[in-house]
Structure formats: C-alpha cells, structure tokens
Amino acid sequence: MQDQVAIARPLPGPALRPPIANLRKGFAFLLVLACVVAAWEGYKLMAGATGGRVPFTDVALPVRGDDKSMPHVWDILAALFSPRQRGSDELLFPFLLKNALFTWREAATGFLGGSTLGFLLGVAFARSKLLERGLMPYVVISQTVPLIAIAPMVVIWGSAVGWPAWVSVSLIAAYLTFFPVTINTLRGLLSPPATATELMRSYAATPSQMLWKLQVPAALPYVFTALKVSATASVIGAIIGELPAGLNEGLGRSLLTFSYYYISGPEKLYGAILVSALLGIAFVGLVSGVERLVVRRGGAGG
Amino acid sequence: MAESMVSIDGVHMVFNQGGADEVTALSGIDLEIAPGDFVSLIGPSGCGKSTLLRLIGDLLSPTSGTVTVNGKPASRARLDRDYAMVFQQATLLEWRKVIRNVELPLEIMGMDPRARRAKAREMLDLVELGGFADHYPWQLSGGMQQRVAIARALSFDPALLLMDEPFGALDEMTRERLQMELMRIWQRTGKTIVFVTHSIPEAVFLSTRVVVMSPRPGRIVETIDIDLPRPRTFDTREDPRFFELLTQVREALRGVEVEVP
C-alpha cells in the first residue's frame, strides 16, 4: 500500500536483472566468506606470534589460537573428506549430510506443524481481542521457559505414550517455531489501512472474505519473515531435541559424539557445526524460494 | 420529484460519548439529495464532512437521527450495495493487478469469473486505462491509481458514489483532468454523487449543489445551488458566473472560519 502516489516507474527488465543480481549476491557471499576465513587464520597467526596474548599487553586472548582450539580452515575441510572414524570407509561429509537430512525431516515436520498452529493462533487473535488478551501471556511465557528444560520432558512423555522418538523431536522443533509466526501473522493481518477495511465493509464483504481477500494477502510478507526465522529455529529445536531423545541418527547425535572426541579431533566437530549451518541456510533458502513464488504472484486466494 | 437518493434527518454524531474526550462531530444535520445530484460537502478540517459521508455509507452509525439511502435505512443500503466509496488514497490492493483490483467488488458479490473480467475491462476502458489491465498498482501514477479506484467503484453499477477528497492528493493539472473525466462519467451514467472536498473551485466546478459546513460541532451553514450551464468545460472556469459563485462559497466559509483561534 506504500507508493500509492508514486510516479509511474519503468518495469524491471525481468530477462536481464535477476541473473546479474544473483551473481552479485553470490559474489557478496563469497567475499564475506573470504573475510571470515582470513579473520580466522589471521587470529591464529596473531595468537601464535604473541603467545596467546592481546598484542602489546599482558592480557590473555579469550580463545587460544592453537590448532586444538581453532583448527586451520584447510584442516577442517580435509577432515570433511576423510573417513569419519578410524577404519571406516565412509567419509565425514556424506555421513554428516545423511544425518542432516534426518534432522531436516524432523525439523520440517515440526516447522509445518508449528507454523500452522502459529498462523491459526494469529488469525484467532486478530478476530478476537478477548482471546488475544487471555492467551497471549501464555504464548509469551511458553517461549521464556528454557528449551533444555522442556526437551527432556517431551521425550519422556513421548516415550511413555509410545510414539517414535523423532515425533518428540519434531514437537520440540514445533515449539520453537510457532511463536514468531503467531506474532507476525497477527501484525500482518492488522496491517491493512483503515480505508481498505472500510472499502471491504462498503462491499458488504463477509468476515471470511475480509480475511482471505484483504487480511491474509496483506499479511503474507510478514508471515514469510517469520517463517524464515522459524526455519532456523526449527533446526536448532530438532538438534537440541535429539540430545535427550537417544536417537542414533541426526546432527544432534553427531555433534554430541564429535564433542566427546574434541581433544583428539576438533576438526570433526567444526565440520559438524559447518554442516548444521549449511542445513539452516538451505532451509531458509527453500522458504525464500516459496516466498518468491507466492508473494510475487500475489496468490493466496487474492 | 422522485424520492430522495439520500435523506438525512436530525443527525447528531458524538464520538466517545460520556468520556473525557467526548467530541460532537455533527449536530442537527438535515440534508436531502435527489437522484442524479452532484453534491459537494465543503468546510474546514474538523467540520465532520468525512464523518457525514461515512454515516451515509453506514461505515459509522449516528448517535441520533436517521440516514436513509435509496429509500431504505443506510445499513440495508450498504448490504444491498447501493453505493460505492472512493477515498483520498486509491486504496488499491498492491498484490493484485489493476484488472483484478477492478474485479474485487464483483468477486465479493459472487459474479462468475468470465462475466466479471468482461465488466472490469469495460470499466477500465471507461476511465481510459484499458492498456494497463495487467500492471500492478505501484506501476501507475497517483492520478492513474485514482482512475482505477473510480473504475472499481463503478464496476457494480451502484446508484450512489461517495467520494472522500478523491483528488486531494493529486497535483493541480492531474486534478483538473480528473475533474473533467468525472464530469463526463457522471453525465454518462447519471449517478448521484456526494463529494467531500476542501477546494472551493473544485466544489463549484463539479457540483449541482454545494453544502457549506462549519466545525465543532459540524453544522450545515448554507446550501448554494450552482446554476452554471452544462456540460461544464475548461471555459466554465473563466465564466464570470463561476467567479460569482466562488465568492459566494468563500463568503459562506468566511463566516465559519472566524471562530478559529
């Protein structure tokens, strides 16, 4: 609804712009990556030269820069393409990818369930102030309870009921997912200006037409912002949920295992962290892709 | 004469009644608008002209008094879609192409897709925007957006148009062009139009009648019949009678504005 009094702008050249924009984005990403690698290695170099102290002082550096604390970037990469353990013929990277896929399935299930719940709560709150006043404090409280306290409980209850462990993990992922979606859906549904609401009333639109033809399409950009936050949160939820769940698969399990062997091979833990980050990026990328399809076309019943 | 298109009888409008911030927006309003009339409501900010328009449209309910539209209570008339509203902001839905914005009311009324598409095209041609059907609102200038809003308002053929400073956000040249266009449409369709403005020349140029209002509380001070010949053209603005009427409206407004501190 912004740009209402804008001067006619030329159409963006759809054939030309996106590839160049993508190239630029890819370049920016690589540039930052190079900076991060340079900073990492630079820190190690500095720590080596000063003996683990801040230059020209006696203050110890927060992280020692030796190869046990901070392995070289190339050592981490090399570890990814070495056997995952002595005597195994499986390389670390495919092993981690397999586990990432397992974790992603748990996270995505939780993400779908949690976002659906979050959206429905947002709609309910937008419809009824009373409901919002009554329930919102509990929704907020639910997010202040530490996840580490909740996760084992969910796992114990889940095993008492007898469902598979991954369901408990998905529930934990859902628990982290729904909140941002609720808040942003509510905000988005209430975003149309007063005149847009008056316009719909002047057409004698029913409440459900008001919702689907005005409020929901207006809310979509807000919802997708939340979904991107939730996508990463669901991955974190799933990883944390896997720790008490006693699963033999998943990134949570891999992270736990490699942290036991940190002293002898820190590169593997860093590799697992790297793959966890990749999973988060991939998931957010997927959500962004769906957003481009849905929001550009102005679909959603609009 | 046929019965009134709009009949306002003893209307008072008080906001936040009983509260510390109680405001009497309108007091003792009586107004009859005949079918085919073009009536402008003019007055300084805070005179309740937009509030009056919303009472006619049943977007607000009066504290006391009655509003009758097309021979029925305003609430019934709204449900029967007897009127269409045009706001200062075009209020187009940004995720819909122009044509789908024009279709919106027809869609809500349940018209089948092919019929409403045809109707929307016809309306876009009427406002001379037939070539922009597949553009998005942000690709149009403010004046074009407002023409789309007018096409949308006309799409379901309501008897009455309620316009709340529709050209208020436009530059002077666009504004005069759209005034001509509105004149043309009004003459072609025979709609009744209630038009809120705070431009004196605009009110005089367009209207059959100008209703001058005063603020706090909003009252009708004077109703001035505009007897300029029709059709009105660019020459109308240079007619001596046009200037006489401008002066008459200005005088009526001056009596109002003395109260402003």
Taking CA–CA distances from A5, the nearest residue in chain B reads B142
Q: Is residue B127 part of a domain?
A: yes
Same domain assignment for residues A261 and A198: yes
Q: What pLDDT score does A299 carry?
A: 41
Q: How confident is the model at residue A49 (pLDDT cuts 50, 70, 90)?
A: confident
Q: Specify the pairing of strand B192-197 against strand B38-42.
A: parallel
Number of domain units in chain A: 2
Q: What is the reported pLDDT for A6?
A: 39
Asked whether residue A243 is domain-assigned, the answer is yes
Task: Write the CATH number for A243.
Answer: 1.10.3720.10
Please indicate, yes or no, if residue B200 is contained in any of the structural domains. no
The highest-confidence range among A136-145, A293-302, B201-210, B247-256, by mean pLDDT, is B201-210
Domain C-terminal end among A46, A70, A94: A70
Mean pLDDT of A137-166: 88
Residue B72 is assigned to a structural domain of this protein: no
C-beta atoms of A198 and B97 within 8 A: no
Q: Are residues A179 and A62 in the same domain?
A: no
Domains of chain B: total = 1
Residues A28 and A142 in one domain: no
In b/e form, how buried is each residue of A121-134, taking b as 16+ CB within 10 angstroms? bbbebbeeeeebee
Instruction: Tell me if A291 is assigned to some domain.
Output: yes
- In A10-69, the residues whose Cβ lies within 8 Å of chain B are 11
Q: What is the pLDDT of residue B234?
A: 83
Partners of B163 in the β-ladder: B86, B195
Q: What is the pLDDT of residue A296?
A: 62
Average pLDDT of the residues in B173-185: 90
Query: What DSSP assignment string belongs to A260-280?
Result: HTTTT-HHHHHHHHHHHHHHH
ipTM of the complex in this document: 0.91
For residue B79, what is the nearest residue in chain A, using CA coordinates? Answer: A204
- CA A148 vs CA A123, A156, A240, B260: distances in Å: 30, 13, 8, 65
pLDDT at A61: 84
| A35: Cβ contacts below 8 Å, ≥ 6 apart | none
- A61, A149: one domain: no
Instruction: Say yes or no: A240 and A269 in one domain.
Output: yes
- If asked whether residues A89 and A64 sit together in one domain, one would say no
Position B167 in a domain: no
Mutate: best of A203, A216, A223, partner B, most B CBs <10 A: A203
Alpha helices in B60-199 (DSSP H): 74-79, 98-108, 113-126, 142-154, 172-189
CA distances from A246 to A111, A113, A233, A258 (A): 21, 23, 21, 15
A4 is a domain residue? no
Kindly indicate the confidence band of residue A238, based on its pLDDT and cuts at 50, 70 and 90.
very high
Contact criterion met (CB below 8 Å) for A218 and A189: yes
**Full domain range(s) for residue B153:** 93-157
Residue A231 lies in a domain: yes
DSSP state of A151: H
Domain that holds residue A32: 21-70
Question: Is pLDDT above 80 for A1?
Answer: no
pLDDT of residue B133: 93
Computed on alpha carbons and rounded to an integer, the radius of gyration of chain A in Å comes to 24
A123 and A269 belong to one structural domain: yes
- The answer to whether the beta carbons of residues B22 and B16 sit under 8 Å apart is yes
Rounded Cα distance between B87 and B77, Å, is 19
Residue in chain B closest to A201 (alpha carbons) equals B59
Q: Which residue has the higher pLDDT, A7 or A286?
A: A286
Q: What is the pLDDT of residues A4-46, one digit of tens each?
A: 333 444 444 444 456 677 788 889 889 999 999 999 999 988 8
Write out pLDDT tens, residues B26-49. Answer: 999 999 999 999 999 999 888 889
Nearest CA among B43, B60, B45 for reference residue B8: B60
Q: How confident is the model at residue B93 (pLDDT cuts 50, 70, 90)?
A: very high
**Could you report the per-residue pLDDT of A78-115, keeping only the tens digit for each?**
888 888 877 788 888 999 999 999 999 999 999 999 99
* pTM assigned to the model: 0.83
The two structure tokens encoding residue A182: 């609720």
For residue A203, being part of any structural domain is answered with yes
CA distances (Å), origin A243, targets A104, A107, B175, B213: 15, 14, 67, 73
